[in-house]
Chains A and B, each alone.
Chain A
Amino acid sequence: MNKKRGPLAHIVKRSEISWQAAWMIRILAIAASIAACALVTFLLTGDDPVSVFRTIWEGSFASERRLWVLLQNISILLIISLAMAPAFRMRFWNIGGEGQVMMGVLATASCMIMLGGKIPNALLIVIEIAAAVAAGAIWAAIPAFFKSKWNTNETLFTLMMNYVATQLVAYFIIIWESPRGSGKIGIINQSTQYGWLPQIGEYKYLLTVLVAVILTVLLYIYMNKSKHGYELAVVGESERTARYIGIKVGRVFVRTMLLSGAICGIAGLLMVGSTDHTMTTTLAGGRGFTAVMVAWMAKFNPVGMIFTSFLLAFLSKGAGEVATNFGLNQSFSDILSSIIIFFLIGCEFFIQYKIMFRKEAK
């Protein structure tokens, strides 16, 4: 008879959760995801799980070079995530980070190719920076403008803009390909280094890291202390309240997306101008999407994003390392990263909700 009392377990929304508890859940999820990765690796390949863990660690920390690569990865991911934060806090679902970065890439590369050697190098770099920022900003502001005027769906719009940007890049790669027939652009201005951003000391990646740190501080101040930051938070929480107190919602959309796009443009600029010195269609490498997750997991707090971008960059490097070290291909590393991401996103459910088991009636 007691069986008829109610369902065995039901789900309850948590009213609040301390940040310690939330991080505890995330750490457990990471542990579980690594265990799952080890299990999958063991079952599919027969390799020893402990060496899998060691490989993940070594992927990032085994040498100074690897550490720098990790730092660069984190920095680029962090910059793109910072770009996502204001728009997402405004509940403007911008998933076009990928395309906005690619436009920054394209603008930088075209300046380097078209103007390299024709104008003084310092002027070239200034033009390059302006072009990258403007290209990203405009690319992001187009969907915002359409949303504010005709209430178009920003998710679809920004997603579509990604494909357009990637195709534009593909088109120009063919035009500028070098050597002819290779279907790609080699290192741009390799001998002259025209348009290359200056290197700080002997550290190739330090500039990227510094820019990421500066942007984190600036974004933190912008979102928490400025009038703009306050306005976009109000718009995100309630568009109706925003209208009611006289905030011009459409204008805030466009303004915030200009900022988001500009920061994405900077990410593109750094990749072409400072580290890679070339342009490929996969340069952004899905980071425009990963950044959404980074920003979300940190609740759009720029400081928190340092940790979340570290986490994701570290784990995906580790997954790649496992795949190579054990003689497996790229798809295997994709499987491992997907397992990790699945656990990381999945654990948010347990942060939002709680499962209650039926208490036996006394």
Chain B
Amino acid sequence: MENKVPAVRMRGITKTFAAGKVVANNHVSIDINRGEILSLLGENGSGKTTLMNMLSGIYCPDSGQIEVDGREVSIRSPKDALNLGIGMIHQHYKLVDVMTATQNIILGLKEEKYDLKAASARVREICQRYGFDLNPDQKVYDMTVSQKQTVEIVKVLYRKADILILDEPTAVLTPQETEKLFVVLRNMKKDNKAVIIITHKLNEVLEISDRVDILRAGEFVGSLKTSETNAQEMTDMMVGHAVALNINRPEPKNPEPRIVISGLTVRSEEGLLKLDDVSFTVNSGEILGIAGISNSGQKELLEAISGLQPVEKGDITYIGPDGKKVSLIGKDPLDIQRMGVALSFVPEDRLGMGLVGNMDMTDNMMLRSFRQGKGLFVNRTKPRAVATRVRDTLEVVTPGLTTPVRRLSGGNVQKVLVGREIETAPSVLLTAYAVRGLDINSSYAIYDLMNQQKERGIAVVYVGEDLDVLLELADRILVLCGGKVSGILDGRTTNKYEVGSMMTTLGGGEAR
């Protein structure tokens, strides 16, 4: 192993965007070896994906060299990359739903004769060699997220790649599926392939990789042997200063029911059952976490409560702080606001739904309040005051109140949105993926905000994807599985595996 030529050697790679204003990578140099699993660790926006995109031919570096097996190369397209044996599995899968796994795998291979049988046989052989669990004839629309990922990986292997890059491969997987993936990755390593995983999850780095290269703000910070490091050291390198890793969880203050949901059933426009007989209660002064694999009904649940989603059956009752009960079924979002029921909804897709990217902070603050006041004209005085207050109290970093919010960083956009919702003085705050795409410091600022709302007696619903966070933040955790309630757990006593197994099996039958 020692003194061998690395599979890939990247030297002094620099990449800038927006005419040199944004430096995504600044003189980054890394080595990638065969028979090794390398983690590329860094916060969101630290340039991990950009770096790997240059290796896989999506971007061209502004300057710097790339060597593959000791030979300088120029990678100008994903095709060039594959010819060099480099394959990348992106976060968003690019598969044709109506085709089978095999059809997707051989799609675009012009050199080969179109022979499905032979291709299926090769797919089977690849699966056997590395321990993938895949039926080559299954249609993609029938597949789980994890199976789709498998197709993407096999696709790259089928093209004889021996340098594999996986971008956040575990983001959409349950803990059990993650373990399966890790088994496969270890098999690839034994087969002398070079494997790179892009991640920001420390426990995974420790579990799977041999070496970890850390990026911070586009710069290479250091390379560590996984066996010789620990979570705290990696975090400090990644963030640049020491961070406390635990999240506050104050005790709930005299919780009382605020929203009672019973037998809620929701179908999508296509008639698919999205929520099936869901019942639970949201209490004031507590954080109710909602866990589930993506697309298990989280979105529909929040949208049903806020009036964006038609309900087929069941009831949603809001119980005001004064004890008055109102049914929210059949009301549209505006009715719900006008009835004095304060539901604040921080949607999953911040810019697509909660905010208007091209408008400035003031106009975005006005989204909730522009109807106030008589007359035909809008009054921007109050929204401007609110915008100023949100900027000051939440420390939003912005060039000015008139800057379009799409130019703010993810964390600041999130603060603008959460800030606006809190400004409406809600009694219920619904949030979905509130920290998606945020760096550690911003995430903690958001957790603090949630806790402050909870202490003010507001009922907080927090749909999250990172189980570690849910387990530390939420008082109770509702687990959804395929649109049904798989169980409601106490956030203080449960563990990751219990939640994980309930996410995949109703009631968590497979729990280990």
Residues of A within 8 A of B (CB): 1, 4-7, 10, 12, 14-15, 225-231, 233-234, 237-238, 240-241, 243-247, 354, 356, 359, 361
Contact of A6 among B18, B61, B332, B370 (CB under 8 A): B61
Task: Please state if A230 and B378 are interface contacts (CB–CB under 8 Å).
Answer: yes
Cβ–Cβ < 8 Å partners of B220 in chain A:
none
Alpha-carbon separation in the docked complex, A116 to B458 (Å): 70
B356 CB–A CB distance under 8 Å: yes
Partner-contacting stretch, out of B34-42, B181-189, B359-367, B469-477: B359-367
Check A246/B377 contact, CB under 8 A, given A241-B353, A241-B354.
Answer: no
Alpha-carbon separation in the docked complex, A4 to B73 (Å): 8
Check A237/B19 contact, CB under 8 A, given A1-B72, A228-B376.
Answer: no
Check A246/B356 contact, CB under 8 A, given A1-B72, A227-B370, A227-B371.
Answer: no
Task: Please state if B333 and A14 are interface contacts (CB–CB under 8 Å).
Answer: no
Cβ–Cβ < 8 Å partners of A228 in chain B:
376
Task: Please state if A241 and B352 are interface contacts (CB–CB under 8 Å).
Answer: yes
Other than the given A5-B74, A7-B76, A15-B18, 20 more pairs (CB < 8 A) read: A4-B72, A6-B60, A12-B17, A12-B19, A15-B21, A226-B377, A226-B378, A227-B371, A227-B376, A230-B378, A234-B359, A234-B367, A237-B357, A240-B349, A240-B353, A241-B352, A241-B355, A241-B367, A246-B334, A359-B62
B368 CB–A CB distance under 8 Å: yes
Alpha-carbon separation in the docked complex, A1 to B332 (Å): 64
Task: Please state if A244 and B60 are interface contacts (CB–CB under 8 Å).
Answer: no
Cβ–Cβ < 8 Å partners of A238 in chain B:
351-353, 356-357
Alpha-carbon separation in the docked complex, A24 to B349 (Å): 38
Task: Please state if B368 and A245 are interface contacts (CB–CB under 8 Å).
Answer: yes
Alpha-carbon separation in the docked complex, A234 to B349 (Å): 16
Task: Please state if A244 and B354 are interface contacts (CB–CB under 8 Å).
Answer: yes
Check A245/B357 contact, CB under 8 A, given A5-B74, A226-B377.
Answer: no
Q: Would you mind naming 16 contact pairs between A and B with Cβ atoms under 8 Å apart?
A: A4-B74, A5-B60, A6-B74, A6-B76, A12-B19, A15-B19, A15-B21, A226-B376, A230-B378, A243-B333, A244-B308, A245-B333, A245-B368, A246-B335, A354-B19, A359-B62
Check A225/B377 contact, CB under 8 A, given A15-B18, A234-B367, A243-B308.
Answer: yes
Alpha-carbon separation in the docked complex, A227 to B377 (Å): 5
Task: Please state if A241 and B356 are interface contacts (CB–CB under 8 Å).
Answer: yes
B289 CB–A CB distance under 8 Å: no
Cβ–Cβ < 8 Å partners of A243 in chain B:
308, 333
B337 CB–A CB distance under 8 Å: yes
* Count of chain B residues near A, Cβ 8 A: 41
Cβ–Cβ < 8 Å partners of A14 in chain B:
18-19
B358 CB–A CB distance under 8 Å: yes
Contact of B333 among A12, A229, A244 (CB under 8 A): A244
Q: How far is the CB of B377 from chain A (nearest CB, A)?
A: 5
Closest to A360 in B: B63
B347 CB–A CB distance under 8 Å: yes
Contact of A230 among B345, B358, B363 (CB under 8 A): B363
Alpha-carbon separation in the docked complex, A271 to B407 (Å): 45
Cβ–Cβ < 8 Å partners of A7 in chain B:
60, 76
Alpha-carbon separation in the docked complex, A5 to B15 (Å): 13
Alpha-carbon separation in the docked complex, A231 to B363 (Å): 11
Cβ–Cβ < 8 Å partners of A6 in chain B:
60-61, 74, 76
Alpha-carbon separation in the docked complex, A15 to B19 (Å): 9
Alpha-carbon separation in the docked complex, A246 to B335 (Å): 8
Top 9 closest A-B pairs, CB basis? A246-B334, A4-B74, A6-B60, A246-B333, A237-B356, A15-B18, A240-B353, A245-B367, A225-B377
Task: Please state if B60 and A10 are interface contacts (CB–CB under 8 Å).
Answer: yes
Max chain B Cβ within 10 angstroms of own Cβ: one of A226, A227, A231: A227
Alpha-carbon separation in the docked complex, A15 to B308 (Å): 33
Cβ–Cβ < 8 Å partners of B356 in chain A:
233-234, 237-238, 241
Task: Please state if A246 and B332 are interface contacts (CB–CB under 8 Å).
Answer: yes
Please report which residues of chain B, range 434-470, place their CB below 8 angstroms from some CB of chain A when the two chains form the complex.
none
Alpha-carbon separation in the docked complex, A12 to B16 (Å): 11
Check A240/B377 contact, CB under 8 A, given A234-B367, A245-B333.
Answer: no
Closest to A356 in B: B19
Check A246/B337 contact, CB under 8 A, given A4-B74, A227-B377.
Answer: yes
Q: How far is the CB of A12 from chain B (nearest CB, A)?
A: 6
Closest to A227 in B: B378
Alpha-carbon separation in the docked complex, A226 to B74 (Å): 55
Closest to B61 in A: A6
Closest to B363 in A: A230
Cβ–Cβ < 8 Å partners of B354 in chain A:
241, 244
Alpha-carbon separation in the docked complex, A361 to B21 (Å): 19
Q: How far is the CB of A59 from chain B (nearest CB, A)?
A: 39
Closest to A222 in B: B376
Closest to A13 in B: B18
Alpha-carbon separation in the docked complex, A227 to B11 (Å): 56
Task: Please state if B359 and A240 are interface contacts (CB–CB under 8 Å).
Answer: no
Q: How far is the CB of B299 from chain A (nearest CB, A)?
A: 12
Closest to A244 in B: B353
Contact of A244 among B62, B345, B366, B378 (CB under 8 A): B345
Mask of B65-90 contacts with A, CB within 8 angstroms, 1/0: 00000001110100000000000000
